[in-house]
Amino acid sequence: MTSQISSDALSGAPGRVGPKRVGMVSLGCPKALVDSERILTRLRADGYAMSPDYAGADVVVVNTCGFLDSAKAESLEAIGEAMAENGRVIVTGCMGEEAATIRARFPQVLAVTGAHQYEQVVEAVHEAAPPSQGPFVDLIPAMDVKLTPRHYSYLKISEGCNHACAFCIIPQLRGPLASRRIDAVLREAEKLLAAGTRELLVISQDTSAYGVDTRHEARDWHGRAVRAHMTDLARELGGMRTTEGRAPWVRLHYVYPYPHVDQVIPLMAEGLLTPYLDIPFQHASPAVLRAMKRPANEAKVLDRLRRWREICPDIAVRSSFVVGFPGETEADFAYLLDWLEEAQLDRVGAFRFEPVAGAAANALPDPVPEPVKEERFARLMALTSRISAAKLAAKVGRTLPVIIDEVGEANPEDGSIGATGRSQADAPEIDGQVLLRDVPATLAAGDLVAVRVEDAGEHDLFGVIA
């Protein structure tokens, strides 16, 4: 994901003359986007305004991604563009851990900081472009900056990860698990809903492990004790209400299939949680999972998927898989395809294995040749596209709840208006869409409507408001 911040995301206070202006480029996952929001919120409180282009910025912040070599290349390209167009650049984010690499390529960068080091970024901006606050800035209430549309928001519940997956360096970049206080998370959720959010996307490196590091410490919340635990958090979020008095959509991402995940499925059946789970399975072959240092209980996962669907028939499960991991044989890959055929996952993404500097997998024998990776990737995507198309075709004729993301302009010939939304099975930017025809002119982004499904493709649905 690449996010170029809009010109009105961080506007200066009304009436202030000449606030210093910050340009920003945000790369990587939703967790990095939340980091960018927090940085911009701090800068806004300090009197900075946003520049919509490099030329108008006093300083540019580039929030990098360093998970894969391809992501690092994109980050270096973004830094190079900012240096060429502006020259006054501060680098932060996951690739900031490789300061020597960045400075060797761009010795003139003003500062380099690591992931979620908000204070250091703000200090670097202050030093590069001291804030020009007016006399009344301290009287203006701080307002959080959002980089997503008003109707959905990412809710980060923890930082870091305690896993030691062979292909991953996230623990090196973001450290061990550090859970936020449960009352702080719930307070942020209430604030987001009061500001117009209708869908909360719960994110972390490992949502299932939330609170493990604090021994699931309980905090007072509206007169009762609530634990820092995924199930308690899910129940509390599902009991909140939007400004219209509706239950918000609450979507769980990055959920490892620990046993207690079974406890959130009834909450989905009751309507407290969006019936959607994002689980990074990564593979199915026991041999590959062991090499990855991942839990190798794929058979139990299939049993649990069946039970989850019995409890909540509409549950949508999305996952991601790595193809071409060192040592992956044709038999291992065939095992994965057979497993996917049985699992019938609703949404699937795949990645070709990339060696990442510092990852244990780099030392493993029997690397898979690039042409073989490409061929396996194509076969996996063909299978999962076929499964997706069949599951979506089964929804034709049904009426589904849909949240509207965008409403188009009226057709100059007949005045018809189209819109784009998402069903509960679709997370923003990574899953499919629901494409609507002949919507009323009063429809707006964030509206929740009932849609009758008329047709389906491999990844998207087509329909009309019921």
Is pLDDT above 60 for 143? no
Mean pLDDT across 393-410: 96
Give domain limits for the chain: 2-139, 152-393, 399-465
pLDDT mean over 18-42: 84
pLDDT (0 to 100) of residue 141: 45
**Distance of alpha carbon 212 from alpha carbon 214, whole angstroms:** 5
Tell me the percentage of the chain whose pLDDT exceeds 70: 92
Supply the pLDDT for residue 379: 97
* 461, β-bridge pairs: 434, 456
Q: Which CATH superfamily groups domain 399-465?
A: Nucleic acid-binding proteins (2.40.50.140)
Question: Does the pLDDT of residue 135 top 90, yes or no?
Answer: no
Mean of per-residue pLDDT scores for the chain? 89
Q: How far is CA 86 from CA 57, 78, 81, 89, in A?
A: 7, 12, 8, 7
At CA 225, angle to CA 221 and CA 231, rounded to 5? Answer: 90
Question: Left, alpha or beta for 7 (phi > 0: left; psi -120 to 50: alpha)?
Answer: alpha
On the question of pLDDT at 177 being above 50, the answer is: yes
CA distances from 228 to 155, 191, 208 (A): 14, 19, 11
Phi and psi at residue 24, to the nearest 5°: -145, 140
Question: What does the pLDDT read at residue 40?
Answer: 85
pLDDT at res. 14: 36
Whole-model pTM over 0.85? no
pLDDT tens for each residue of 198-222: 999 999 999 999 999 999 999 999 9
* CA atoms of 434 and 426, how far apart (whole Å): 9
| pLDDT of the residue at 144 | 67
Distance CA 359, CA 295 (A): 18
pLDDT tens readout for residues 220-233:
999 999 999 999 99
Of 167-176, 309-318, 424-433, 444-453, the range with the lowest mean pLDDT is: 167-176
41-90 pLDDT, tens digit each: 888 878 888 888 898 899 999 999 887 778 888 999 999 999 999 999 99
What residues contact residue 194 under an 8 Å CB cut-off, 6+ apart?
243
Q: How confident is the model at residue 96 (pLDDT cuts 50, 70, 90)?
A: confident
d(CA 206, CA 37): 21
pLDDT tens digits, one per residue of 145-159: 767 788 999 999 998
pLDDT of 288-315, one tens digit each?
999 999 866 666 899 999 999 999 999 9
Using the Cα atoms of residue 241, residue 244, residue 245 and residue 251 in order, give the sign of their dihedral: negative
pLDDT at 203: 93
pLDDT surpasses 80 at 140: no
Residue whose pair of structure tokens reads 């998970």 in the numeric block: 67
Q: Which one of 3.10.310.70, 3.40.190.10, 3.40.50.10680, 3.80.30.20 gives the CATH number of domain 152-393?
A: 3.80.30.20
2-139: CATH class: alpha beta
Q: Is 303 left (phi over 0), alpha (psi -120 to 50) or beta?
A: alpha
